[in-house]
Amino acid sequence: MVAPVLQTTLSSTIKGGNPAAESRLSSPLQDSGALNGFSHSDLTPVIGREYTGLQITDILKSENSDQILKDFAVTVSQRGVVFLRNQDVTPQQMREFGERLSRLSGCPDSSTLHIHPLTEESSELGDQISVISSTKQKKGGGLTHQLSDTSRFASVGWHSDISFEPVPSDYAMLKIHELPSTGGDTLWASGYEVYDRLSPAFAALLEGLTATHDAEFFHDEARRLGNPLREGERGSPLNFGGELRAVHPVVRTNPVTGWKSVYVNRGFTRRINGVTKDESDVILQYLFNLLTQNHDAQVRFKWSKNDIAIWDNRSTWHTATYDYTETRTGDRVCSLGEAPYYDSLSKSRRQALEEGA
């Protein structure tokens, strides 16, 4: 396996993060062109790409699989989310793909695949597969957000996976294998694009702030499901215990691209730190509005059976659409990356593309 360039020391311009969970990259990854032979189309100018005729199993057994996976990581991190149709892939192959994708793109040695706090012990598919189930949700459980008694806005579902952990997800992949006859799409939005819509003065303010993310509500869901919360190590030695809470920078640098992204989400972010509660509420609501009210920063995907989506949780948000009554199920794998950090020398997506970087 070809190892990425290792990062030996952190620059003084880097804020946040945990030295025990640093990215091993010393600079952004560069695309080698290993994917150029596969047909693809970009679904919007800023987010989403779909490949045609590309199978995960073919990538895994390719003689050039390490380089293809590294380029695949670059593509996912730049485009936010990549879609692959009609995949003949097992849960074990999904785990292998997710772990290698993360490893080859520089995740810390201590990071592996995430074990969700609500995953049942001795699950048939293994600890590292989260089952996304509409049937479970109707019983009060499940791993995605639902409309509740406090809101009738579908936008409450926007989130980035497991940002409540000290070491959250870098990449996630979801395979949908049971679909309703209509509805059940998923939307993704670009955190890079939301950052690019900030004024320079407001961006500078946010770059000096952190936010608290928590998922304490999972304790209630675990009780409703009748299963104990997973309090042991959840894919990183820093992710353990019953306090599902973490503090991360409001603006995060993606080490694979070197681009800045807004890193708060409606699902888990509770408070901007260092400002008053009133100021925190105003800032968060404005950032959430930038996400939900700019459809040109989003892509919507209509699933077919056995399709797979792979996305970068550091730089995107996503939400399901709860517009169906029939069963919808899928399997999800989340790899863990680095502890989030902000590098003041990093660039916005727009700036990097304009400079050809």
Strands 81-84, 49-51: pairing is: parallel
Is 332 among the residues known to form the active site? yes
14-66 confidence digits (pLDDT tens): 888 899 999 999 999 999 999 999 999 999 999 999 999 999 999 999 999 99
Q: What is the pLDDT of residues 138-181, one digit of tens each?
A: 554 443 444 455 566 777 889 999 999 999 999 999 999 999 99
Identified catalytic residue from 49, 332, 343, 349: 332
Give me the CATH topology for the region 37-354.
Double-stranded beta-helix (3.60.130)
295 is catalytic: no
Active-site option among 103, 116, 127, 161: 161
Identified catalytic residue from 95, 114, 159, 252? 159
User: At 114, phi and psi to the nearest 5?
Assistant: -80, 145
- Determine if the pTM surpasses 0.85: yes
Would you state the torsion angle of the CA atoms of residues 50, 53, 54, 57, taken in this order, to the nearest 10 degrees? 140
- Would strands 245-249 and 259-262 be described as parallel, antiparallel, or unpaired? unpaired
Instruction: Report strand pairing: 329-336 vs 130-133.
Output: antiparallel
Report the distance separating Cα 320 and Cα 300, nearest Å.
10
* Cα–Cα distance measured from residue 224 to residue 150, given in angstroms and rounded to the nearest whole number: 19
Catalytic residue (one of 234, 318, 328, 349): 318
